[in-house]
Amino acid sequence: MTIRHFLTLQDLTSEEFQQLIDRATELKTWQKEGRIFEPLKNKVLGMIFEKSSTRTRVSFEAGMIQFGGNAIFLSPQHSQVGRGEEIADTARVLSGMVDGIMIRTFEHENVEKFAEYSSIPVINGLTDTYHPCQLLADMQAYQEHRGSIKGRTVTYIGDGNNMCHSYINAAMLLDFNLNIASPRGYLPDADIIGKAGDRVKVFASAKEASEGVDLVVTDVWASMGQEEEAQERAKTFAPFQVNSELMALTNKEALFMHCLPAHRGEEVTAEVIDSEQSVVWDEAGNRLHAQKALLEFLMA
Ligand code: CP
Ligand code: NVA
């Protein structure tokens, strides 16, 4: 059997992406009913975190335990990963010990290299370029609140970062329109936008990008690894804050999402993130169910 990896959403077909969303909702219902379902009994997921995490770590770990398996957390400080052992060597060694690997790291090339040498499924738990697991949860949350996202218009406001790139990939696979509003110099990667065709539009103004849209998404202005740029970015990104004035321009049924952690008063006001339109808690909670669907798909 060929091994499947999940390094970007593009590792899935549109049908597979939709199936994972539907399965995630089903697994969520089963979990709420207290139904025991253990398709990964005795299986082990290794998790390498070179950056901090709350949601990703807990959702993968809880998901593996609920599925009858287990997860092992590896940090660079307490493993040879942080002492320069080659990625290819780590990949080959762990392939003989566990059944799947999740990696959160800096350069996207690191997960690609890991996958090249791995004989078990590799999951991208966030790189500087992509955050595909988050999009499984976001798309599940949208569908649960508003039905199919096909043909809808989403606005991503802020840094053209890993979240933005994964939204572009999702737009291609699930066939929705994506407006992106970013400050000059912080646009998403031109090659990634280029592949999406005319369903992705770039705006210089957050307001113009938000008129009549169905979902507004934002993310932190300074991602992990960009802490030193935070002050400068705060000035540049100020006109790209998601606030009530901006939300007033959207479709009145529009939702608000943020992958979290959020900074109230920076990329989003407390008024918006804590409003009725915001589905951030469902979005975060769905990390568990969406990734269980993914683990089952790759490892069961
Ligand atoms: N959204 C997300 O990936 O959160 P963590 O950094 O807490 O894992
Ligand atoms: N863009 C953020 C997402 C955190 C989940 C970061 O990379 O830090």
pLDDT digits (tens, 9 = 90+) for 32-80: 999 999 999 999 999 999 999 999 999 999 999 999 999 999 999 999 9
Ligand 2 interacting residues, C-beta cut-off 6 A: 126, 131, 161-163, 219-220, 223-224, 259
Please state the domain extents for the chain. 9-131+284-299, 134-283
Ligand 2 centroid to residue 17 C-alpha, Å: 22
Ligand 1 centroid to residue 1 C-alpha, Å: 32
* Known active-site residue 287: yes
DSSP string across 100-135: EEEEE-SSHHHHHHHHHH-SS-EEE---SS--HHHH
* Known active-site residue 5: no
- Helix (H) or strand (E) holding 157, with range, is strand 153-157
Would you say domain 9-131+284-299 falls under CATH 3.40.605.10? no
Q: What is the mean pLDDT of residues 16-43?
A: 98
Is the fold of 9-131+284-299 the same as that of 134-283? yes
Backbone angles phi, psi at 216, to 5 degrees: -115, 130
Q: What is the mean pLDDT of residues 131-142?
A: 99
Instruction: Name the active-site residue from 66, 134, 143, 241.
Output: 134
CATH of span 134-283: 3.40.50.1370
3-state secondary structure 192-254: HHHHCHHHEEEECCHHHHHCCCCEEEECCCCCCCCHHHHHHHHHHHHHHCECHHHHCCCCCCC
Q: Which ligand is nearest to the CA of 55?
A: 1
pTM: 0.98
Q: Report the nearest-CA residue for atom 1 of ligand 1.
A: 259
Sign of the C-alpha dihedral computed for residues 146, 150, 153 and 158 taken in this order: positive
